[in-house]
Amino acid sequence: MVFSSITFIYYFLPLVLVGYFLTPHKFKNYTLLLASLVFYFVGEPVYILLLFSSVIVNYFAGLAIEKHHGRIRAKQILAAAIAYDILMLAIFKTFNFFAENLTAALSLDIRWTKIALPIGISFYTFQIMSYVIDVYRGEAKAQRNLASLALYVSLFPQLIAGPIVRYKTIEEELKNRKHTVDDFAYGVKRFVTGLLKKVIIANPLGTLWALAKYAEQPSVLFYWLGAVGFMLQIYFDFSAYSDMGIGLGRMFGFHFLENFNYPYISKSITEFWQRWHMSLGQWFRDYLYIPLGGNRTTKWKWFRNIGIVWLATGIWHGAAWNFIVWGVLFGMILILEKLFLLKMLQKAPGLIGHLYTLTIVLFSFVLFNSSSFSEAANVTKGMLGLLEIPMVSDESIYHLMSNKILLIIAIVFSTPIVNLSPRHTLFNKLAHFEPIAIVLILVAVTGFLIDSSFNPFLYFRF
């Protein structure tokens, strides 16, 4: 079940909201926990047991770590809990990758069953790891209520595709949160904003990549159209999910941190990753980069730490060679920026920094979205005019003209020029018309959903 579905918008969410607000305060967590487990069970009826096991193991680990705080025993328990979490993630994330590469390398004729990746495992594993680490550091208290910890891990607004919510961010709200009309109204506006971005902008953009790859009349223009289309699609798709997750959380009294901050206005790759998927970047910074020594060490170890983090980032996105190379390449670029590129970019006109960043991001997403290196190489060659194809074709011109309004809207709305955030946008300027605007957006979204069967969330596969 995805947020941008008729089932979720018109059946699941209204029933949960009614049930939640009719439930007495002291039982609201149980109602929300039940709704979250049903939400996950619909998508993963078998792997819900894996979710349960993660909660139980880390629940007892957290209690034991707090009991032995300051002693070597606490560190041993933490290591065991993290080993369990990483092992579960590694089994489901990397088994197929290693099996495929091993059988290919050894020329083995072995039939093996592929393991399906449980939805949301990358997100909820990182969340539960942050819990036990924060308890060990003394930054959070061990949760004694098993249901409350289970709610933190399974909370449906952020369970499937983030943002990655740190335990200490909502520790207090798990036991004592306020519900206000203003918060609920903000949540509705934020959720509807996400729906707009996802259904009316991201989904139509999603067809351009496939059209470019399988064009009957390939051209340089068509390859650029496909690459730019995907670059915009993944931003609107993922940021829309974050918007909807943050909005849903606010409806139930939770305040999740922001996950995107207009990354395409960045003037360096360093700045880009401070604005894109911020919850993941902050997680790696606090739980991997800094423990490794961060930048407070020798220059060689500093660059080693950056390399480790970005290798891990690539693997987090998927156990496949394109993701691994994608992560390593960004690690190398960030090291070069630390060495000298950032200083050069800061002295250069801002336009240079923007073009530099957008070019790297655009070509990196070609690699990111390709099923193989040969596909990535073919698309890249096509964009650079290295294939025996014309600069333009009738087919590419047709699709460019057909999608020009969509592309212009996506480009404009990916910048702060027209801010889609309900805090300071058209919603605020036309405050009296907010209810009408929300209803009109819902009507438009519903029409798009009924008319189209294309409605994936790209980050579900991570």
Positions marked active-site = 317
In tens, the pLDDT along 287-301 reads 999 999 988 888 899
pLDDT of residue 127: 93
**CA-closest candidate to residue 55, choices 75, 76, 40:** 40
Does residue 169 surpass a pLDDT of 90?
no
| Distance, CA of 185 to CA of 428 (rounded, Å) | 12
Cβ contacts of residue 244 below 8 Å, gap of 6+?
3, 4, 157, 190, 191, 194, 195, 198
Average pLDDT over residues 265-284: 94
Which residues make Cβ contacts (< 8 Å) with residue 346, sequence separation at least 6? none
**pLDDT at residue 428 in the model:** 55
> In this predicted structure, what is the pLDDT of residue 202?
92
Least confident stretch, 6-15, 402-411, 419-428, 440-449 = 419-428
129-168 pLDDT, tens digit per residue, is: 999 999 999 999 999 999 999 999 999 998 887 788 989 8
Q: How many CA within 13 A on the CB side of residue 432?
A: 0
Q: Is the pLDDT of residue 278 over 60?
A: yes
CA distances from 123 to 48, 221, 458 (A): 14, 37, 14
Residue 184, CA distances (Å) to 13, 174, 242, 249, 383 in order:
13, 17, 17, 9, 46
Query: What is the band of 406 on the pLDDT scale with cuts at 50, 70, 90?
Result: very high
Least reliable range by pLDDT among 166-175, 347-356, 365-374, 434-443: 434-443
305-327 average pLDDT score: 92
pLDDT surpassing 60 at residue 434? yes
> How does residue 418 score in pLDDT terms, banded at 50, 70 and 90?
low
Show me where the domains of the chain are located: 6-177, 183-461
The confidence band for 115, taking pLDDT boundaries of 50, 70 and 90, is confident
Mean pLDDT of the chain: 89
Count of other CB atoms within 10 angstroms of residue 391: 10
Does this model's pTM top 0.75? yes
pLDDT of residue 3: 87
For residue 85, pLDDT beyond 90: yes
pLDDT of residue 360: 97
**∠ CA 105-110-114, rounded to 5°:** 95
- The answer to whether 2 and 8 have CB atoms below 8 angstroms apart is yes
Q: How far apart are CA 243 and CA 245, in angstroms?
A: 5
Q: Is the pLDDT of residue 270 over 80?
A: yes
pLDDT at 457 (0 to 100): 61
Q: What is the rounded CA–CA span in Å between residue 345 and residue 299?
A: 21
- Compute the average pLDDT of residues 26-45: 91
* Spatial CA neighbour of 277 closest among 256, 263, 295: 263
- Predicted pLDDT at 356: 96
Please tell me the distance from the alpha carbon of residue 359 to that of residue 263, in angstroms, as a whole number: 13
| pLDDT of 395 higher than 80 | yes
d(CA 64, CA 76): 10
* Residue 458 pLDDT greater than 70, yes or no: no
Whether the pLDDT of residue 452 is over 80: the answer is no
**What is the band of 96 on the pLDDT scale with cuts at 50, 70, 90?**
confident
User: Which of 34-48, 221-235, 248-262, 321-335 has the lowest average pLDDT?
Assistant: 34-48
**DSSP type of residue 388:** S
Mean pLDDT of 251-274: 94
